[in-house]
Structure formats: structure tokens, C-alpha cells
Amino acid sequence: MPSAVSRRAFLRTAGAGGLALGAAALLAACGTPAQKGTPGAAAEDLSDKEKTVNFSNWPLYIDYSEDEKSRPSLEAFEEKTGITVNYTEEVNDNAEFFGKVQGQLSQGQPTGRDLFVLTDYMAARMINHGWLQKLDHANLPNVEANLLPNLASPSWDADRSYAVPWQSGLTGIAYNAAKTGEVRSFQELLTKPELKGRITFLSEMQDTMAFMLSLVGKDPSKFTDADFDLALERLQGAVDVGQIRAFTGNDYAQDLVQGNIVAAMAWSGDVVQLQFDNPDIKFVAPEEGLNLWSDNMLVPNGATHKKNAELLMDHYYDPAVAAQVAAWVNYICPVAGAQEEMTKIDPELAENPLIFPTDDFLANSYTFMGMTEEQDRAYTEKFQKVVGA
């Protein structure tokens, strides 16, 4: 098994300082309302004449050769289609990347990119601005056949007209079984006296507030300002009594292994990697449900190789290719049939429910509501005041 470093783990190894910078970048990106574009605006598609596609992704979010000098799944696509992929690992942060392309897209100018990958909430914002091209599903037969049903209809893109999942993940609870008994719910995390000061929540607003909304009986996929404020008040109460030790990024992982904390709100891909070395680390689908999120492939306005981009998307929905990627990144593979292919690569990973969850496992999952830029800014500012960032 190659050394796997998750995309989210890579981003958060800088610790709280890096996260604070990320929050500041997000607020800066939200500070000036972006101009709307023309929905589905397209440049001339040169795909038939120019056999190239410019693909921007997150670092360490694809399969690599053993010497880490090549990306076999990309090379296979190039060999099969004759299309050259200019692959760039430049999406280090959703808000940062938004800032890179905001000016061009708001002015109707090309970004120089044909395909990029952004998380649900930012993909929703791009759609709201009218900055993405509508996909031609005639070029996406593998996507049509193999996209997992649980990911097929997010509230912000109900028929997947603009966004196709690259990888997905779950936010739930992780605990160290060598240090504490089973933790089954966020209600327990916030009420058990023996856990006081020994747990962490995430500094990502969408992750933490999804569960807080659920705790106060509200739907994370559809809520009002009043609902958000009620959930935030519940979170403030837990902070005030010292139940939550800290709000963290990926740095919860090391504290959990070392026993500095005994339980945490956690990302599924991180837990898979921790379990390779420490089987005492357990992942729980909390009674309140799981937060299911995706990082999505998107074609921006002005892209001149749209068809080539769609062919590349479809390539990654071949189950054998999808399994190849999943073996490296360890998040949920969004492609039906990839589990069977994974048995040829790593039978143990093929049985891991955090990479290939069952329908029952995902039955009580939800996605966070797509927000307007104004909502995102307001909610983030309120949340940052509570968590002290």
C-alpha cells in the first residue's frame, strides 16, 4: 500500500495557524460581492481541434506511481484518447482558489482552466454566480451509469447539471477505544461529564454546524437564519462550560492517537489512515446522522476544451480507474463497481466502509445546505466569534 496522504490532511498539517489564515481568506473572499455571470456561458469549444485539457486539482488527491513521479490514471487517459492533460495541483484552499478566478469569471474572461475541483459549498456558490458551464451528459455515460445514488441529487445541483463528484467523505465521530468507552452521538459528546475538556470539534463551519443543527432538531440541508442562531446558541453553551477542548483542523488526529483527547469530530479519510497504525481509533456514525460532502469536478465559463474535460470526468467513473484513485486517497469512492475492482488492488481496503460505505451506512446522511455568498459570510462571521478564531 503506497503512503497515502489525504487531501484534507495535507491542507491541515500546518495546524491552527494555517486554519486561521484560511478563515481570514474566506472572509476576504466574501468581503466584496462578486458579479453574476451568464449561466452556462461558453466559449467556442476547441476540443475536436486541440487535444488538450487543463485540469486543476488539490495536492496529493490522485494516484501516483511507486516512485511518485507519474500519475498512472492520467497517463492511461492520455494514451486512450490522445488528449494531453495539463495537471496542476493548485487548489490549496476553496476560498483562495475562488480569489484566483473571481475577477476573470465575473468579467466573462477565461481562466485558462478547463476543469477544477471544489468542495460542495464553493461549487454551489459558483453555480449561483452563473460561472459554470452546463455539462453535456451525452459525454458522461460512465457517470450516468455509475454515480452512487446517495450523491446524485444535492440540493444545490439536483440533477448534476454542473458538478460531478471527484471524491466524497463523511464527517462523524472518532474515539480512542484505549482511552474511553464507545461514543455514539454528539449529544453524548456534549453532555457526558467524563468527556469534559477531552473532545474537539472542527473549525470548519459547515462540518460543526451541520451537527449542531441536527442536535436542535433542524435540517442541515435546509435551514433558516433563526435555525442557525439556535444551533449556534447550543454550541456557545458547550464552549462556555468547557465541554469542548478546542476547535481544530486535521491536528485532532495526532491528539487522538496520543490520548491528549479521547474523542473528536472527524473526517472519515483521516480515520482510515490512522487505523493503519492504531486499531484503537474507531469511527462512529453518530445517532444524529453523518455529514456527507463531496469535492466536485466543474467546468468554468470560458473553458475552451469542455468536451475534453467531460471525457476526462467520465474516465474517472470507470470503476477500475476509480478504484486506482481510491487506493491512494482513502476517501469515499463515488463510483459504483469500484469496490469489486478494489479487491484486485487491496482486498482490505475493499472491505473498508469508510471508502465503500453500504447503503445502510449512508441511509442517515445529509449534505449541508447550499448558501448564497451573503449567507456564507454572515454564518462564518458568527461561527468564528463562538470558536474564537
> Can you read off the three cell numbers belonging to residue 255?
491528539
Which domains are present in the chain?
A: 26-162+299-317 (3.40.190.10), 169-292+369-387 (3.40.190.10)
CB 331 within 8 A of CB 355: yes
d(CA 180, CA 199): 11
Q: If you ran DSSP here, which 8-state letter would residue 296 be given? A: E
How many CB atoms neighbour CB 34 within 10 A? Answer: 18
pLDDT at 18: 30
Q: Which residue has the higher pLDDT, 368 or 262?
A: 262
Report whether 204 contacts 119 (CB < 8 A).
no
Residue 32: DSSP 8-state: S
User: Would the pTM count as exceeding 0.95?
Assistant: no
Collapsing DSSP states into helix, strand and coil, what is residue 246?
strand
Model confidence at 23: pLDDT above 70: no
State the angle between helix axes of 373-387 and 120-129 in degrees (0 to 180), rounded to the nearest 10: 150
For residues 284-298, b (16+ Cβ closer than 10 Å) or e, as one string?
bbbebbbbbbbbbbb
Nearest-Å Rg of the Cα atoms of the chain is 20
Span 46-103, pLDDT tens digits: 999 999 999 999 988 999 988 778 899 999 999 999 999 999 999 987 888 999 999 9
> Model confidence over 116-159: pLDDT tens digits?
999 998 999 999 999 999 999 999 999 999 999 889 998 889 99
Q: CA nearest 268: which of 326, 223, 191?
A: 326
Q: What is the pLDDT of residue 134?
A: 96
pLDDT, position 277: 86
If we measure between CA atoms, which residue out of 6, 24, 3, 2 comes closest to residue 203?
24
Note the pLDDT of residue 30: 42
Give yes or no for a contact between 300 and 113, defined as CB atoms under 8 angstroms apart. yes
Q: Write down the pLDDT at residue 117.
A: 97
Short-list 255, 250, 240, 258, CA closest to 196: 240
Per-residue pLDDT tens digits for 345-389: 999 999 999 899 888 888 888 888 888 888 988 999 999 999 986
Band (pLDDT 50/70/90 cuts) for residue 20 is: very low
- Which one, of 3, 28, 23, lies nearest residue 12 by Cα? 23
Phi, psi for 312 (deg, rounded to 5): -70, -45
Rounded average pLDDT over 187-192 = 96
Q: Answer yes or no: is pLDDT of 181 > 70.
A: yes
Predicted confidence (pLDDT) at residue 3 exceeds the cutoff of 70: no
Query: How far apart are the C-alpha atoms of 230 and 227, rounded to whole Å?
Result: 5
What count of other Cβ atoms lies within 10 Å of the Cβ of residue 374? 10
User: Mean pLDDT for the chain?
Assistant: 88
